[in-house]
């Protein structure tokens, strides 16, 4: 994983590299480093911890080089300390890397045998030594990188800087994303357009297997077969300003509160409010001819996919399989050509989701993606993209992207129902009207924040928390547990209400809060029975429901959060908000790093 930057500039590049790395911190933030040429000599500054440590180091010991590479790291091989921080270097070359070199051990043994001295625990260091070895054998820098790449197994985006080469950066990509920025007498490499936005909005995206040679005057790109090629220069719409927190203490809080607006915005892209009909872009497949849909994603996006399954099956009577992307890819699932595979991803760069997309394509599936970053690799490789219009999501724990993903999935499922004749016009009108009301209900849900904050004080005292739900509230229970554990580090599990008695009930005693997500719907009575089972064992229940559910859940020792009445089809979109707020306030009380929790990254670009 990690974010990389490279700049061939006309003035000292360290400040611009730091600015770019700030924009890449979503890819990792356990250590960072830069290398420049100081009077032609490779010079590095690296620091363990957040980027501000590197910034402080550069204030104390500035760099003046007008060419440089930089990196923000999420550790895969080797602890997150200064030694293992990138760039990795020999006396001839420095390299930054995003990805994993799978055969690093084998290469390390071979290169050590020829005298290379390794000083880190990383897989990346072999790349620096391999290129150096080839240069020592007589190759120039460009040819040395060209010869090294076929020897690397695994995934990578790389940027190289060479001793004494003041007008040369080399980049390469296989698996991990890499873009070229075209400035005025300046050239750049970066993991994405957002990192390059303050420097240029002229961007070309390298394709898999590409190799690029950058000089201040321009770039030459070679494809996987070594043939010179051109990658189009596009105008990037990535914002050149850093997204601010406004009056909020954390990005996560801001993003939770933005949901009424961004979900409304997303819905307006797929709904014709005047006719109360779903209006999608032209589809390259016919829902009526599909016999199955496969949805794949990771993390929170996977839970959005699970909720989508309930909707497709109910509205369109279409069987749906939902897989964690890393599982679908390797479990040899049979595909019938011509069916539909849907990929859900905030970043559009998640390595497992992307690899599964390619796998589905190879098996003749139509590929539709629901992504938030419209310029991402997943978006670019999809047959059809349905963007979520959540805007940049900075908090590592996904919130507004999740509800926007749900909004798109709901619209798709309604369109599928219409195309398959399983929804009448009247059904569609009812479902669409319910969606149109969602932003209003979300605002009402946000008004419960003071109450939620009080409940969070109790949650924060515990080591374990259980979430229960049935129907679409079950995936939401999974999402609630994920939110809580990722930002507060309290162990939490989500369960389908009916599964309680098959194991988790053994955990229940007076020390475990049980958060029950249960709007008054056709399975509410069943959930009440589950709550009785918890209450009988002294479990403490927090029930998230609506006015009718609050009246009918006649159980003692229940704290109730009452949301407005709404049709069951849209409850997951609205109930997500108190679930997110509960996790958020618990984490704030615990004093954790809410926006950048330990060990996590916003975009996971390694398998
Ligand atoms: C990481 C993030 C999660 C996200 C998941 C999938 O684990 O921390 O918030 O849900 O990746 O990411 P994607 O960008 O594909 O939605």
In a domain, 595, yes or no: no
**The domain boundary residue, chosen from 186, 206, 240:** 240
Which residues contact residue 502 at a Cβ distance below 8 angstroms, ignoring those fewer than 6 apart? none
Q: Write down the pTM of the prediction.
A: 0.85
Q: Is 388 in the pocket of ligand 1 (CB under 6 A)?
A: no
Residue 556: what pLDDT?
A: 72
Q: Is there an atom of ligand 1 within 6 Å of 290 CB?
A: no
In a domain, 43, yes or no: yes
- Distance (Å) from CA 288 to ligand 1 centroid: 32
Average pLDDT of 328-349?
92
Q: Which residues are catalytic?
A: 2, 602
Ligand 1 touching residue 602 (CB < 6 A): yes
Instruction: Say yes or no: 222 and 363 in one domain.
Output: no
**Per-residue pLDDT, 537:** 86
Q: Which long-range contacts (CB under 8 A, 24 or more apart) does 145-153 make?
A: 145/170, 145/172, 145/211, 146/211, 146/222, 146/226, 149/174, 149/211, 151/103, 151/107, 152/101, 152/103, 152/107, 152/127, 153/101, 153/102, 153/103
Q: Do 338 and 201 fall within a single domain?
A: no
* 350 Cβ below 6 A of ligand 1: yes
Pair 424, 510 in one domain: yes
Q: 341 CA to middle of ligand 1, Å? A: 19
Q: Determine the pLDDT at residue 332.
A: 83
**Residue 605 in domain:** no
pLDDT digits (tens, 9 = 90+) for 55-107: 999 999 999 999 999 999 988 888 999 999 999 999 999 999 999 999 999 99
Report the CATH number that the domain containing residue 221 is assigned in CATH. 3.60.20.10
Per-residue pLDDT at 530 exceeds 70:
yes
What's the mean per-residue pLDDT of the chain?
A: 94
Mean pLDDT of 465-476: 97
Q: Does residue 158 register a pLDDT over 80?
A: yes
- Determine the average pLDDT of the residues in 215-239: 91
Atom of ligand 1 nearest to the CA of 378: 15
| Residue 241 scores a pLDDT above 60 | no
> Is residue 456 included in any domain, yes or no?
yes
Whether residue 596 is contained in a domain is answered as: no
Residue ID of nearest Cα to ligand 1 atom 4: 299
Same domain, 207 and 262: no
Closest CA to ligand 1's atom 15: 345
DSSP 175: B
Kindly report, residue by residue over 117-151, the tens digit of the pLDDT: 999 999 999 999 999 999 999 999 999 999 999 99
Nearest to 546 by CA among 459, 472, 407, 445: 445
Q: Which residue from 346, 349, 393, 397 has its CB within 8 A of the most atoms of ligand 1, so it is best to mutate? A: 346
Q: Is 372 in the pocket of ligand 1 (CB under 6 A)?
A: no
pLDDT above 90: residue 472? yes
Q: Both 266 and 186 in a single domain? A: no
283 has a pLDDT exceeding 80: yes
Domain count, the chain: 2
Atom number, ligand 1, closest to the C-alpha of residue 300: 10
Asked if the model's pLDDT at residue 392 lies above 70, the reply is yes
Confidence of residue 501 (pLDDT cuts 50, 70, 90): confident
| Dihedral in degrees, nearest 10, Cα atoms 7, 11, 17, 23 | -100
Range of the domain at 323: 251-590
Ligand 1 atom closest to 397 (CA) = 9
pLDDT at residue 152, as a whole number: 97
**CATH number assigned to the domain comprising residue 386:** 3.40.50.10490
One domain, residues 288 and 412? yes
Q: Which is higher by pLDDT, 585 or 599?
A: 585
Work out the average pLDDT over 493-521. 91
Protein residue whose Cα sits closest to atom 1 of ligand 1: 602
294 beta partners: 321, 341
Task: Determine the Cα–Cα distance for residues 80 and 121; give it in Å rounded to an integer.
Answer: 10
Q: From the alpha carbon of 396, which atom of ligand 1 is closest?
A: 8
Over residues 287-335, the pLDDT tens digits come to 999 999 999 999 999 999 999 999 999 999 999 999 999 998 888 888 9
Is 600 near ligand 1, meaning CB less than 6 Å away? Answer: yes
Tell me how far apart the alpha carbons of residues 62 and 86 are, in angstroms, rounded to a whole number.
18
Based on the fold, state whether residues 141 and 274 are members of the same structural domain.
no
Q: Is the pLDDT of residue 378 over 90?
A: yes
Residue 34: pLDDT band with limits 50, 70, 90: very high
pLDDT of 429 > 80? The answer is: yes
For residues 524 and 406, membership in a common domain is answered with yes
* Residue 67 belongs to some domain of the structure: yes
Q: What is the pLDDT of residue 120?
A: 96
Residue 607 inside a domain? The answer is no
Q: Which of 188, 221, 240 is the last residue of a domain?
A: 240
Cβ contact 468:497 at 8 Å: yes
Of 348, 603, 606, 607, the residue with max ligand 1 atoms within 8 A of its CB, to mutate for a pocket test, comes to 603
Q: 477 versus 506: which is more confidently predicted? A: 477
Same domain, 52 and 156: yes
pLDDT bucket at 242, cuts 50 / 70 / 90: low
Please check whether residue 266 lies inside any domain of the structure.
yes
Boundary-marking domain end, from 218, 240, 262: 240
For residue 482 and ligand 1, the question of a CB distance below 6 A is answered with no
Q: Does one domain contain both 353 and 485?
A: yes
Q: Is 132 in the pocket of ligand 1 (CB under 6 A)?
A: no
Task: Say whether pLDDT at 557 is over 70.
Answer: no
Same structural domain, 198 and 343:
no
Judge if 329 and 223 occupy the same domain. no
């Amino acid at each position: 994983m990690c974010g990389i930057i490279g700049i061939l500039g006309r003035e000292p590049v360290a400040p611009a590299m730091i600015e770019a790395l700030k924009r890449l911190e979503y890819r990792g933030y356990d250590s960072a480093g830069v290398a420049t040429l100081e009077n032609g000599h490779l010079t590095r500054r690296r620091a363990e911890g957040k980027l501000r440590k590197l910034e402080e180091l550069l204030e104390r010991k500035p760099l003046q080089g007008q060419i440089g590479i930089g990196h923000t790291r999420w550790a895969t091989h080797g602890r997150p300390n200064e030694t293992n921080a990138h760039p990795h270097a020999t006396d001839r070359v420095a390299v930054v890397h995003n990805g994993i070199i799978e055969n690093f051990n084998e290469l390390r043994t071979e290169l050590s045998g020829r005298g290379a001295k390794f000083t880190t625990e990383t897989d990346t260091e072999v790349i620096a030594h391999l290129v150096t070895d080839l240069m020592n054998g007589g190759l120039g820098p460009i040819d040395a990188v060209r010869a090294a790449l076929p020897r690397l197994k695994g995934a990578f985006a790389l940027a190289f800087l060479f001793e004494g080469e003041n007008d040369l950066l080399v980049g390469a990509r296989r698996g991990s994303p890499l873009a070229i920025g075209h400035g005025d007498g300046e050239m750049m490499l970066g993991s994405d357009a957002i990192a390059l936005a303050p420097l240029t909005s002229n961007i070309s995206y390298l394709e898999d297997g590409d190799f690029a040679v950058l000089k201040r005057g321009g770039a030459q790109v070679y494809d996987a077969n070594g043939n010179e090629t051109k990658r189009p220069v596009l105008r990037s719409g990535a914002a050149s300003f850093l997204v601010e927190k406004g009056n909020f203490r954390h990005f996560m809080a801001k993003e939770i509160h933005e949901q009424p607006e961004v979900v409304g915005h997303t819905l307006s892209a797929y709904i014709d409010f005047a006719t109360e009909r779903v209006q999608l872009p032209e589809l390259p497949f016919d829902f009526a001819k599909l016999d199955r849909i496969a949805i794949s994603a990771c993390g929170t996006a996977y839970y959005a996919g699970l909720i989508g399954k309930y909707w497709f099956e109910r509205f369109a009577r279409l069987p749906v399989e939902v897989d964690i992307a890393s599982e679908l890819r390797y479990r040899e699932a049979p595909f019938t050509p011509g069916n539909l595979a849907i990929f859900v991803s905030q970043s559009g760069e998640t390595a497992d989701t992307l690899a599964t997309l390619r796998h589905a394509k190879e098996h003749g599936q139509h590929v539709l993606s629901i992504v938030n970053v419209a310029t991402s690799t997943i978006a670019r490789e999809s047959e059809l993209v349905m963007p979520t219009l959540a805007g940049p999501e900075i908090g590592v724990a996904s919130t507004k992207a999740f509800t926007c993903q749900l909004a798109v999935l709901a619209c798709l499922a309604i369109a599928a129902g219409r195309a398959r004749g399983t929804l009448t016009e009247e059904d569609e009108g009812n479902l669409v009207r319910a969606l149109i009301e969602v932003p209003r209900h979300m605002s009402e849900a946000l008004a419960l924040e003071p109450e939620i904050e009080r409940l969070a004080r109790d949650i924060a005292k515990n080591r374990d928390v259980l979430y229960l739900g049935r129907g679409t509230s079950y995936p939401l229970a999974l999402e609630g547990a994920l939110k809580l554990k990722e930002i507060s580090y309290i162990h939490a599990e989500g369960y389908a209400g009916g599964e309680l008695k098959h194991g988790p009930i053994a955990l229940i005693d007076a020390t475990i809060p049980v958060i029950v997500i249960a709007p008054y719907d056709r399975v509410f009575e069943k959930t009440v029975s589950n709550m009785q089972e918890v209450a009988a064992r002294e479990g403490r229940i927090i029930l998230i429901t609506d006015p009718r559910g609050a009246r009918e859940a006649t159980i003692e020792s229940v704290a109730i959060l009452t949301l407005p009445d709404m049709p069951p089809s849209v409850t997951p979109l609205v109930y997500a908000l108190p679930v997110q707020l509960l996790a958020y306030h618990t984490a704030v009380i615990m004093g954790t790093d809410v926006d950048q929790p330990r060990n996590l990254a916003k975009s996971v670009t390694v398998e």
